[in-house]
Every structure is written in C-alpha cells, then in structure tokens.
Structure 1
C-alpha cells in the first residue's frame, strides 16, 4: 500500500475539480438546494478517481522508458538526447516526462507532455550544449502516466544516475575530417592557397593536363613520349607540428559560454586530426607556471586518442603564464625544427613586449605561429552608432584596443613570427587555414 502511494500523484485537473466542488459547498450555504447536488459531484469525482487508480495500478500493463545519450558529450556543441517511451497498457495514455538534466545546465523546467496510443511507442528528442569538460550526471527519467480520465498519475522512473563525460568538440572533428582528403577545401570555408615554391617531395611523372604548372615540364620525358610530361610533387611529409596551449588566467575569458581555453582545446583536437591525415607528426603541450601534458610529435595510430585524453583533463588556472619556462622546455625537448602553434592572448603591446624575448628565442629554431583573439564585444561597440558623449568615449577606447591588436600582429611580423588574430568562433577554420598555407608554401 505504501508503495502505491509513493507512485500515486494527483493531476491538476483533480485539484481544479476539487476546488470547484469546495466552491459549490460554500455557495450551497446561501443556496441550500445546491447542497445535495454538490455531494453527488464529490461522489462522482471520487468514483472516477478510483476507476483511474484501478486502471493504472490493478490492470495488467505498464510503461517502458529509457534515455539514450551519446557515449560522450561534445563540448560547445548541441548534443542529441533521445527519450523512448512504450505504452503496454490496453488504453491510450497521457504522459508527463521530467528528465533530471545535469546540474551544470541549471535547467529545472523540463516538462514534456505526450499522448501515446495503445501498445504504441513514442520518441522525443532534445538538445543540450555543455560549456565545460568533465563528468555530467543525469538523474532519474521520470514518466508520469495517466489514463484518458487524467485525474491521477502513476510515476515510473528509469535511468537513475547516468554519467556521461564531456570531451573536447569531437563533433567539429568529424565535421572537418574530410578536409585532409579534398582539394576543394574552400567549400568548407577554407582559403585556396597557391603553391609558390617547390620545397616538396617528388612523386611521379605524368601527362600534362590543363592547369598544371608549366615550370614543372620534364623535357627529357617529353622528348621520349613525344607529348608534354610534367613532374608531379606532393607535400613533404613527416614534419613535426606542436600545439602549445596557454592555460593561464588570460585564457579564462568567456565567449558565448565557452572560455578561450576551451576554444583552443577544440581547435587543437581538429587540427591534430588534419595534421595526422596529412601524414605529419602531431604533438602538444600546455603551460602556465610549469609545462604539462607533454606529448611528443608522432603519427602513430593511437596518437589521436592520446591527444584527446590529455585535452580532456586540461584545467585552467589563474596564474601568470611563464613564457621563459616554455622557452627552456622547447629548447630542451624539441630538437628538430618544428611548426609551433601557440594559443595565447595578448591584449596590449606592452604585454607582448614582456614576452617577446622568449618568443624570438623559440622562433630562432622553429616556425612559430601565435594564435590570439579579437575581442568580439569591442567589435560590437565599434560598429554601434554613438548617441551621446559616453558612447563616443566607449567607441574611441574600443577602437584603440582594436588598433593595438593589429599593432601586435605587425610587431610579430617584424621578427619573422607568424600570427593568427581571430574571433573565437572562427578559430578552428583560421588555424587550419594557416597550417595548410604553411604546407602549401613549403616554409617549414
């Protein structure tokens, strides 16, 4: 009996009817002829309530339900969650579904109402967008079932305490997975890079077709075949590419729910995949007060999984990043000339000048690309039309900061350091563009 009461819930319709009957009793005090009719209404309500309780608890039948989640959630992306409900009763049912979503989302208004026919199945889909890596715990999947009378409900619970980890954006990884295999990269928003050098590996001699570079004509083979033949080259392979992520306080700045650190992590995962598909060696490391998460550049089959697991565990801190220690670590542990993609953020030219000696030291032995971020909120201030003195002042300050970002790019270029100044939402495309440009120009 106690178990029955724990599963029994009164619906809103029952309360509305009960309040109506109570109001009739009050009115019957002034109009006694309504008194007996009100009692009949109360008996009818209790009768139908009893009938529905029997239908839900005594009649053979039940409800099956389960929640289907991905094995892992993709950070910063919309992830599909499916709910499946099966009605095994011999009558149609009305359901109210309450899914206990992880605490990180702070959603307490999940209510879905569905009608399911006799012996039928129903499916509901919703999306969640995590903004932090880590473990996400789903609570109970609660299904409140009512008969067509809809006076009371029986509660069913499924999938208690289901944990799903949130990893860096593997959805972006799949989205850009084919980029390494196609020559039409501009279809994905990537720039088409013209190859201006021949620091490439010889592949084969082939017949000339329209569009081939006439500078690659092989005259000896042409004379033998009596038709134009050209040398075909391929990108040089097995080059080392290291992605270096600054996890200091400058990377804690949020944008659209994600920190700059998480944008850098997502971009690193996608870029690592492109690098390996291009037959180069991908490695990574992170730094703040010390250098951590060091993975040597390799192109083995398990490299992507190793990078993914390390990216999953990266946590930011609030310390000032030690570029001097980074310089010493790179000089000690990376002996071959490599492409170093450094994710960090500089807001002022003075901030760059403090770290410039270390960046110049790294660029002396490696090809260094600094990736830092535009301030999107300042961009909105710049584009907004000023209406008063305060807004004019804000607009001027925003333009000053934007100009200083461009000065940082110019300053880096003076010392042969490449840079990518990008908005967080365009980070992945921009760093892939830069990597493919470097490969195409043969400057590594």
Structure 2
C-alpha cells in the first residue's frame, strides 16, 4: 500500500475512534486532545484530515493525534504524542502529568479570582487589623494592673541582671494569667439574652424590666453588664456581677421610670465576662434592641381595681361615697356613718336591729362624662418628674375607667388653639381602650388655648346633659375671663367641673420673707398671681361651675373622689 493509501486508512481509524465527541469539547481539551495538521498544504495530510478534498468533516469527527508527512518515500507517519512543540498542544503523557497541569490551571484561576476580588472589593484586611479587632473585645480588670505592678516593690532590692530576669519571668506569668482567663471566659456566641417588658409602659412610675440570660457553653459564665434604656429613663442601669452555671440560665430584674409618653427604643445589652482569676475577660454587646411605647399611668387603673376588690380604697386616699343615690331603685342597707343624711335612715330596720341603719339606692346609670383636656402652653411646665399635662392625662384615664365600670358614656376632647382629638361619648371597655390610645398621643403645644371654639365644638356634638371635666390652668385675669364667658353658656345644659393644679413654687415665693428688693418684687408678683387665680375660681363657682384646685401629686385621687361624690349626690 502506497503512502496515500496508508494516510487514508489512518484517517478512517481516527475518525471512527473519535466519532460522537463534540468539536467544542475536543477544542476545550476535554478527553483526548484534537490533533493538529503540521502542513495543511500537503495533499495527503489535507485528505487525511478532511477525508476528501473540498469536504468539511462531520460533527465530532476530528483526529486526536498529530499527523505529519515527511514528503519522501517513507510516506505518512505518526508523531510520538509525548513530543512537545511550541505551536501545538500535545496529549498528556500520563494521568500524573494531566493532574499536574490541572493543578496549575486551578492555581491560575484562583490567582485571577483573587486579583478580581482585590479590584472589586477593596484591599484585603491585614493580619494586624484582624488582631486589633480581636483585641478590642478583650477586657483587663484593675486586678490585672495590680498584678502587673506587684514586682515593682521587690525589683527595687534586686541587683542588676536579677531584676531584668525577675521582670521577664513575672511578665510571662502575667501573660499566662491573662491568657488563662481569656480561655476560660465565655464568648459572645455562647450567651443569649431576652428582654421582657410590659406591652404598655406607664409614665411616671417604675416599670419592671427583666433580662433572661442563657449560657450555652460548658464554662461557668462570670458576668457583669449594663442595660441600655432609652434616654431620660430613670433607674439603675448597671448589672451586678453574677455567675451562670454551664448550660444554665439566670434572670435579672430591673426597673425604669419613663419621663414622658411616646415611642422609645431599648438598645443592646452590654456584657463583660471574666475568667476564674478575675484578671481579664471579654467585652461585647448582645443584640436585644426593642421598641416600647409609654402610655399614661395604667398601673393606677389596675391598682384601683385591685384595691376596690379588697375594699381597701382608703389606702390610696379614695373616700367612700357616703351619699345615697337619688335613684328610684332600692339597693341595700348599711350601718349609719357620720355624715349620712337623716332622711336616708330606715327607721323600721333601725328598730329591729337596735342601731341606726341607712337605705342605699342604686345610682343612675348611662350618664355622660366628657373629659376635656387643655393642651396649651400653661400645661407644659414640668412639676416634679411630670408635666401638668401628663398629670391631667393620668387623672383623665382613671376617670374614664371608673365611668366605664359604672356604665356611663365616656367622651374625650383634647384642644389647644384647635380641637386635636374628639371621641363621641360611648360606653363599654372598647371605648376605654380608644380613650387610652388617644391619650397616648396627646402632646403639649406652645400656644394659647381657645376655650370658646373648643366648648362650642363640644356643645354642637353632645346635646345630652353631661359632666364636663375640664383640666386646665388659670394664670392671670384674661384667661379666666374668657373661660368664665364660655362656661356660662354651657352651664344650663351641662355640669362643668374645672380642675386646676396648684403651683408650689409660686406659693413658696409668695409666702417667703424677702431678703432683698428683688425678692420683694418676686413675692409681690407671686401674690398677685395667686390672688387672680383664687378670684377666678370663686367667680366660676358663683356661676354654677364646680371647682377643684389641688396639688399636682394629689390630682388623680382628688378627681376620683369628686366624681364619686357627684355620682352619689345625683348631680347629673
């Protein structure tokens, strides 16, 4: 067989051997590599590659090894595939060589990926930065400084190199103590904290806050920390040192007093853990951020309800209503008490028992109570821990609850220059909850209240005779004159009750003995303010309005007592 015949036979064998493999896979080097023609112009080589001149090979029919022709009598011959050439890609000689080239290819890919990462994501974090980040969470106690300074007393008496040697030994010992404490201290990932707070916090009173800490490690957790309440909350923030056994848990009880109503946020809990020697530990924050809402004093409502069931309302200053209701339905009999009306004595029951007995009648129900709150500038001053507006809101909330419990219709009106909030009078517990949510959002405004517009708005929407409890403040003759003119218009239909708060500071200045000319002027101004307010209240009472002027701390109790008295006397 001549040279051309041998070339055609070799081409057929190579074609059958690699039939079914895609040209793309062979070109990428998967499987055995495609052979390359050394001399495309040679007729036998071209025919061996393409089968016939002028015809493209079928898909997947590519030779897998090199074919070359020496152009002489020897004809076509096959090259050794292990021979390397700069212009071709030889077949791998062994699995080891292929694996080596694969490793080189992967290393190059990793280098390129690292280069792309550096370009796209910025410079990598250095080892020094990582060490500094870890060291920022290390906490050294004052005991560590004391232990480190102890050799200074002895080293003064050691000569020369002995001092340096003792210092080095002590420093190594100190490092061992610190590293031992760090190794035995609990880390951030081993502790979990959960904060429990009331759904509705109450303003001006202590609210319980509990921290539940769980230790998931096999080490004893020696913990001290600090709570992060919202700004302005009064209470102890520090957490005293305590221990939690391995896989144990502990609960910490704290108490905070909010200064005002609104939405606030607790932060994360700061934790410091120590080792057994108390020299070093770790410092970190446990995520516990939480949103809370501060409402009017709800604890007064719950406390009143509890004391009412116990029959111990006198403990908070609530006087029993000793006036018989003017209703028509008989309720019960009770023993006579000083202050009872003689007309209510049941003489037949008194004769049978031998002691005075008084009849009690069921008070009228389904009456209407409207709580009107002035949110103007005179209600914004802070008296003690709370503003006058906050104290009025607390008293209004308790009155709303009492009226709801008594079966009365409760309405709400909040105003300044304009009417801010209005709830039509309704009865039931849902109305109390609406009142609570409305009082939560009440804010004081630095503007003069418009009594005429507010009470005219109320008179147009509430036609049934009602008890209008107006929480306001009277300073000077002009506001008193405006209020008197408005209340005189609604008095025939409604029963107004004007509730104001006394100013202890003004009373102190008015009654103090002046030491200088400026003190005398201040005392005169304070006396004029008190005189004008007293005259305005007397004038309101003379025109048919009920008046209540009390200390800010006693506002809630006094308002409740007056409401109970009005209900018992049947004034509505």
State the TM-score, normalizing by the size of structure 1.
0.86
- 1:44-102 CA deviation, whole Å, 9 max, x = no partner? 111122222222369xx933433222222111111122223345555544322122221
Equivalence for 1:425: 553
**Aligned residues, how many?**
435
Alignment correspondent of 2:176: 47
Match of 1:20 in 2: 149
1:113 to 240, 248, 261: 240
User: Take 2:389 and 2:153, find their aligned partners in 1: how far apart are those partners?
Assistant: 64
SS in 1 for 2:410: strand
* Residue 491 of structure 2 corresponds to residue 363 of structure 1: yes
Matched position secondary structure for 2:449: coil
Instruction: Indicate the SS of the match to 1:426.
Output: helix
Mean Cα deviation higher: 424-433 or 152-161: 152-161
Cα distance in 2 for residues equivalent to 1:229 and 1:151: 77
| Residues 165, 184 of structure 1: alpha-carbon distance in 2 compared, 3 angstrom cutoff | closer
Gaps of 5+ in 2: 1-126, 351-355
Q: 1:105 to 1:209 in 2, by over 3 A?
A: closer
Change (3 A) 1:230 1:68: closer
Tell me if the contact between 2:304 and 2:313 (Cα under 8 Å) persists in the aligned partners: no
CA-based RMSD of the aligned residues comes to 3.6
Q: Deviations over 1:10-48 (max 9, x none)?
A: 222365158628968996999543111000011011112
With over 3 angstroms needed to count, the CA separation of the structure-2 counterparts of 1:90 and 1:355, relative to structure 1, is same
Matches within 5 A, 1:167-206: 167-178=295-306, 185-195=313-323, 199-203=326-330
Tell me how far apart the structure 1 counterparts of residues 321 and 357 of structure 2 sit (CA, whole Å): 24
Contiguous gaps of at least 5 residues in structure 1: 223-227
Work out which of the residue numbers 236, 255, 274 in structure 1 matches 2:402: 274
SS at match of 1:365: coil
Distance 1:34 1:299, change over 3 A: same
CA–CA separation in structure 2 for the residues paired with 1:231 and 1:138: 55
8 A Cα contact 1:173 1:270, kept in partner: yes
TM-fit CA distance, 1:430: 1.0
Q: Which structure has the larger Rg?
A: 2
Note if contact 1:368-1:418 (Cα within 8 Å) is conserved in structure 2: yes
Question: Against the structure 1 CA distance between its residues 146 and 329, is the aligned structure 2 distance closer, same or farther, given a 3 Å change threshold?
Answer: same
Change (3 A) 1:203 1:182: farther
2:378 aligned counterpart, secondary structure: helix
Shift of 1:284: 0.6
Residue number in structure 2 paired with 1:236: 364
8 Å Cα contact 1:248-1:318 kept in structure 2? yes
For the residues of structure 2 that align with 1:171 and 1:292, how far apart are their CA atoms? 26
TM-score, normalising length from structure 2?
0.68
Contact 1:144–1:153 under 8 Å retained in 2: yes
Q: Is the 8 A contact 2:366 2:407 kept in 1?
A: yes
Equivalent residue runs for 1:124-135 within 5 Å:
124-135=252-263
Q: Distance in 2 between matches of 1:134 and 1:97?
A: 27
SS of residue in 2 equivalent to 1:296: strand
Higher relative contact order (CA 8 A, sep 6+): 1
State the Cα deviation string for residues 274-332 of structure 1 (Å, max 9, x = none). Answer: 11112211111111122132111111231111111111111221121111211220121
User: Cα distance, 1:207 vs. partner?
Assistant: 7.3
